[in-house]
Amino acid sequence: MFPALETELKQQTLPDPYEDFMYHHLQYYGYFKGPTCLSSAVHRQIEAENRDSLMLNSPLLKSRQLLHDDLGEVNSRLREPRDLFAFFSSSGPLQAPRWPIECEVIKENIHHIEWVPPQPEYFYQPTGNEKVPEIVGEEKGTVVYQLDSVPSEDSYFTSSRVGGKRGIIKELAVTLQGPEDNTLLFESRFESGNLQKAVRVNTYEYELTLRTDLYTNKHTQWFYFRVQNTRKDVTYRFTIVNLLKPKSLYTIGMKPLMYSQLDASTHSIGWRREGDEIRYYRNNTEDGQQPFYCLTWTIQFPHDQDTCFFAHFYPYTYTDLQCFLLSVANSPVQSQFCKLRTLCRSLAGNTVYLLTITNPARTPQEAAAKKAVVLTARVHPGESNGSWIMKGFLDFILSNSPDAQLLRDIFIFKVVPMLNPDGVIVGNYRCSLAGRDLNRHYKTILKESFPCIWHTRNMIKRLLEEREVLLYCDFHGHSRKNNIFLYGCNNNDRKFWLHERVFPLMLSKNAPDKFSFHSCNFKVQKCKEGTGRVVMWRMGILNSYTMESTFGGSTLGNKRDTHFTPEDLKSLGYHVCDTLLDFCDPDRTKFMQCLAELKELLQQEIHKKFKELGQDMDLEGSWSDISLSDIESSTSGSDSSLSDGLPVHLLNTADELNQKKKMYKKKKRKPLQSRKQRNKQYQKSNLMQESKLTEDAPEGAGFASTLQKQPAFFKNSENTSSSMMKNEKPRLNELNGRDKGTSLGPSKMTTLILTKNKERMQREKPGFTVSCSPKRNTNPSQEPAPDTKPNWSRNRYPATKGGRTTAVVYPSLHIYTYP
Active site residues: 548
- Report the b/e string of 643-671 with b at 16+ CB within 10 A: beebbeebeeeeeeeeeeeeeeeeeeeee
Both ends of the chain: CA-CA distance in Å? 78
Residue 338: exposure state from Cβ atoms within 10 A (0-12, 13-18, ≥19): buried
Pairing between β-strand 469-478 and β-strand 371-377 as defined by DSSP bridges: parallel
Distance CA 45, CA 48 (A): 5
Distance CA 442, CA 131 (A): 44
Distance CA 745, CA 349 (A): 76
Helices (H) and strands (E) in the chain, counts: 23, 24
Going by C-alpha positions, the residue among 759, 772, 774, 761 that lies closest to residue 719 is 772
Distance CA 421, CA 324 (A): 15
Give me the DSSP letters along 651-694: HHHHHHHHHHHHHHPPPPPPPP-SHHHHHHHHHHHHHHHHHHHH
Residues in contact with 415: Cβ distance below 8 Å, sequence separation at least 6, in sequence order: 354, 355, 356, 357, 374, 375, 376, 390, 393, 394
Residues in contact with 689: Cβ distance below 8 Å, sequence separation at least 6, in sequence order: none
Largest CA distance in the chain: 127
Sheet holding 142-146, edge to edge: 142-146, 197-202, 205-209, 235-243, 293-300, 276-282
Residues in contact with 737: Cβ distance below 8 Å, sequence separation at least 6, in sequence order: none
Contact 159, 101 (CB under 8 A): yes
- Name the helix (H) or strand (E) containing 718: helix 713-718
Going by C-alpha positions, the residue among 566, 268, 532 that lies closest to residue 419 is 532
Q: How many Cβ atoms sit within 10 Å of the Cβ of residue 54?
A: 14
Distance CA 605, CA 582 (A): 26
Dihedral angle at the C-alpha atoms of 280, 286, 287, 291, nearest 10 degrees? 50
* Cα distances (angstroms) measured from residue 614 to each of 315, 337, 343, 611, 623: 49, 59, 54, 5, 17
In this structure, what DSSP letter does residue 232 have? B
Distance CA 705, CA 743 (A): 11
- Name the helix (H) or strand (E) containing 340: strand 338-345
Q: What are the two backbone dihedrals, phi and then psi, of residue 405, each rounded to the nearest 5 degrees?
A: -65, -40
